[in-house]
């Protein structure tokens, strides 16, 4: 199994970062502008990009500390069986966000694409929380010309 | 062993991307403004950030196609034994750059930090080659507040 790992530091309390990870409105501020279903453990969040997109089941929530999603549904196929975690850790100057998208079957080109794109979206999360200037889809930073 | 994987697509011929990966001037356009020693296989490239920084030995060069560096020296300690590759693949619309920083001993916080930071620098490479607008250190995009 192969994992994507990232880490950013956000100048804001953990409470504010946690809201951006656990509410439709928060998620719409940095990943995609079309999110439905965020709620408690067991909820299925539907992330949509021009109509299509992945679903994730919320499998763990520790308030202001940890968010875990397990991929749900059939697409994208390479994401089946994968899991996403956001681990928060507050220090005086910032809240650290340790991100993993784990359990990929292989380090394919698509996985490498997603790794770069996750960095882009985590910086969008940082800008959304710090300055209300996230760049969710469809205004996300482009990493290629496809 | 754990790897960092990324992939960006650059609107330029492979020749231009290859130059940005194999010359001091090219490397200074996107990673850090202080690079010395880029040359043929066996050369040691010294990347400096405010005086300190890693050295890499060039271990493979395939013109306009592949660049491989092996970490050389003693710092940062977590990079000892690691290898960096840039694999280029030209299509009509763009040159794909598949990046790996491989052979990490563990997926530590520092590894996660480097993963995010490599994404930032690969987007800097894209902007440098496409528009002469790279953001090498010390003008690099910040991912935290340390």
ipTM of the complex: 0.97
pLDDT band at A4 (very low <50, low <70, confident <90, very high): very high
Whether the model pTM is above 0.80: yes
pLDDT by residue (tens digit) across A5-40? Answer: 999 999 999 999 999 999 999 999 999 999 999 999
Q: How far apart (Å, rounded) are the C-alpha atoms in residues B35 and A75?
A: 43
> Six-digit token pair at A93?
């100057």
Best residue of A101, A145, A146 to probe chain B, by most B CBs closer than 10 Å: A145
Q: How do residues A83-95 score in pLDDT, each as one tens digit? A: 999 999 999 899 9
pLDDT at residue B144 in the model: 98
| Contact check, Cβ <8 Å, A8/B111 | no
Q: Which residues of A touch B3 (CB under 8 A)?
A: 2, 107
Tell me how far apart the alpha carbons of residues A17 and A33 are, in angstroms, rounded to a whole number.
Answer: 17
How many H-runs (helices) and E-runs (strands) does chain B carry? 3, 7
Mean pLDDT to the nearest integer, A72-85? 95
- Res B108: pLDDT: 97
Q: What is the structure's pLDDT at A117?
A: 98
3-state secondary structure (DSSP) of residue A38: coil
What pLDDT shows up at residue B133? Answer: 98
Q: Which residue in the set A5, A107, A120 is minimally distant from B115, CB to CB?
A: A5
pLDDT at B94: 98
- Report in angstroms the alpha-carbon separations of B145 from A5, A6, A7, A79, B38: 19, 15, 12, 32, 31
């Amino acid at each position: 199994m192969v994992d994507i790992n990232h880490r950013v530091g956000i100048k804001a309390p953990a409470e504010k970062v946690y809201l951006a990870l656990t509410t439709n409105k928060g998620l719409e501020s940095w990943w995609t502008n079309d999110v439905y279903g965020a709620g408690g453990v067991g909820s299925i969040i539907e992330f949509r990009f021009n109509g299509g997109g992945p679903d994730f089941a919320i499998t763990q929530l520790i308030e202001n500390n940890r968010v875990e999603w397990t991929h749900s549904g059939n697409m994208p196929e390479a994401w089946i069986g994968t899991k996403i975690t956001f681990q928060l850790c507050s220090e005086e100057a910032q809240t650290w966000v340790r991100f993993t998208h784990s359990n990929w079957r292989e380090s394919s080109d698509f996985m490498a694409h997603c790794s770069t794109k996750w960095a882009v979206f985590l910086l969008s999360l940082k800008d959304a929380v710090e300055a209300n200037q996230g760049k969710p889809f469809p205004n996300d930073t482009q990493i290629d010309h496809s």
